[in-house]
Chain A
Amino acid sequence: MSESVEDIEIQLLLDAVYRHYHYDFRHYARASIKRRLLQALAQWGYESISEIQSAVLHDETILPQLLNFLTVQVSEMFRDPSYFRALREKVVPHLRTYPSLKVWIAGCSQGEELYSLAILFAEEGLAERTMFYATDINPAALKAAQAGVYPLDRIRLFTENHQASGGQNSLSEYYTANYDRAVFDRSLRERTVFSDHSLVTDAAFGEMHLISCRNVLIYFDRELQDRVVRLFSDSLTRGGFLGIGSKETLRFSAHADRFTDFVRAEKIYRRISR
């Protein structure tokens, strides 16, 4: 089938966003990007994707709104509890042997994954020796992550997940309820650096012991996944751990040989030491 006009317009829009703002969505999985742009189109009442392109080039206040369509902010605390259980039972014993630790949560969205790990590390007595790096490209999401406030009606799910992940305390020890919001303790993020960092266009972070990057690679095409897997390998210490989403895999990556399976079922890998 020949390329449709809409597909051409989408390519041009992504080129424009990259050239003008340096946000690079050109190698994101296209079917999902297309759906999300068509949603933006319907919601904003424009006639065509080209009109979005014109609007975002001439009015920079449109960019944050467009980012909210182009990135997906779906997350949960202790999402896939068995992943966090595996970290607790299998990875933590190795981490304990280090006097100081660096943990990178890449694509941290609104902080759910960060707070999950911060709680897990606190419960395992590792919090004091750990620095967390929480990064994302969506400034609104990063700001929410920094605030650590979630609607109270999500807490029930978070609590169930925390228990299922092997949580030692009650989740309620880590937040205070304020009307319809749960405000997580600031002590949980005392040792966290939040930063705007793109896995697509920015450089490696140094000497991490654990990188948790879940449900981000799934949005990238194969080529881009390769770049990012390499970036992770360059950012890990020898023997460092990488955890990805439950439906993601390093199997097809050109850099798979830099990692070994550590907990196969939970998609936890270990950088080989050479």
Chain B
Amino acid sequence: MSLRAVVIGASAGGVQALSQVLPDLPAGFRVPVMVVVHIPPHKENALVDLFARKCHLQVKEAEDKEPLAPGTIYFAPPDYHLLVEAGETLALSSDETVNHSRPAIDVLFETAADAFGSGLAGVVLTGANQDGAKGLKAVCEAGGVGLVQDSATAEVATMPDAARIACPGARTMYLDEIAPALQAMTR
């Protein structure tokens, strides 16, 4: 596989989990990474600052109609869905919540699967709902790779469990295995 993009979804316990994945991506990682974390709608987005300090890659909040750049980590802003358009630009929308969430992991994963097909890796981490399951299924059906956090080590196992059931071909991983696995896919 030649990796063209990564999408990651996390919910309850997600900030902790992401702290063990994103900082391990090396400076030479030349692929865009898009992340949805469930956060309350009327909050300022503190994630960008937090991860900008920890990561080797550039970290920013995703903007509407922004062309994707390699080696950049994009976070969905609170209260907006993050989508990928054909032609590899990002889009935001304030469509209805999906799985009671905006941003929703399914929305990002499904649109990214459409745009990147077999060049996409989808990663589902800890969480207390089922968001991301349909999305990961779409990633796998489009020929992409699914990675799911090992449930025993997830703060809340509901989300990774649901993703594994929807997408049996997904690989189960410990957090510290994820960045090296993604890095290996770029070669």
Contact = CB atoms under 8 A, between A and B. Distances in A.
A74 B95 contact: yes
A29 B93 contact: yes
B64 A31 contact: no
B96 interface: yes
B96 A72 contact: yes
Nearest to A72: B95
Interface string B54-83: 000000000111000000000001001101
Interface residues of A, number: 22
Contacts of B155: none
Given A29-B93, A72-B93, A215-B94, A35 B111 contact: yes
Interface string A1-17: 10000010000000000
B150 interface: no
Contact of B93 (A1, A219, A221, A249): A219
Contact of A247 (B63, B111, B114, B117): B63
A222 B65 contact: yes
Contacts of B65: 29, 221-222, 225, 252
Contact of A30 (B86, B92, B107, B117): B86
B107 to A, nearest CB: 7
B141 interface: no
B80 A247 contact: yes
Given A222-B65, A247-B63, A247-B77, A36 B114 contact: no
A72 B94 contact: yes
Contact of B84 (A31, A218, A219, A221): A31
Contact of B83 (A31, A222, A225): A31
Interface string A236-274: 000000000101110010000000000000000000000
B114 A32 contact: no
A9 B95 CA distance: 22
Given A74-B96, A247-B63, A247-B64, A29 B91 contact: yes
Contacts of B117: 1
Contacts of A30: 85-86
A252 B83 CA distance: 19
B110 A247 contact: no
Interface string A24-41: 000001111011100000
Interface in A31-80: 31-32, 34-36, 72, 74
B93 A32 contact: yes
Nearest to B81: A32
A205 to B, nearest CB: 24
A248 B64 contact: yes
Contacts of A31: 83-86, 91, 111, 114-115
A245 B94 CA distance: 10
B94 A74 contact: yes
A221 B86 CA distance: 12
Interface in A187-221: 215, 218-219, 221
A25 to B, nearest CB: 14
B95 A32 contact: yes
Nearest to B102: A74
Given A218-B64, A222-B65, A247 B84 contact: no
B103 to A, nearest CB: 12
B50 to A, nearest CB: 20
A218 B93 contact: yes
Contacts of B91: 29, 31-32, 218
A249 B111 contact: no
A222 B81 CA distance: 18
23 contacts: A1-B117, A29-B65, A29-B91, A31-B83, A31-B91, A31-B111, A31-B115, A32-B91, A34-B111, A34-B114, A36-B95, A72-B94, A72-B96, A74-B94, A74-B96, A215-B94, A218-B93, A221-B65, A222-B65, A225-B65, A247-B64, A247-B80, A247-B92
Interface of B: 63-65, 77, 80-81, 83-86, 91-96, 107, 110-111, 114-115, 117
Q: Which 9 A-B pairs have the closest CB atoms?
A: A31-B83, A31-B111, A32-B93, A29-B91, A31-B85, A74-B94, A247-B92, A215-B94, A72-B95
Given A31-B111, A219-B93, 5 more contacts: A31-B83, A35-B107, A218-B92, A247-B80, A252-B65
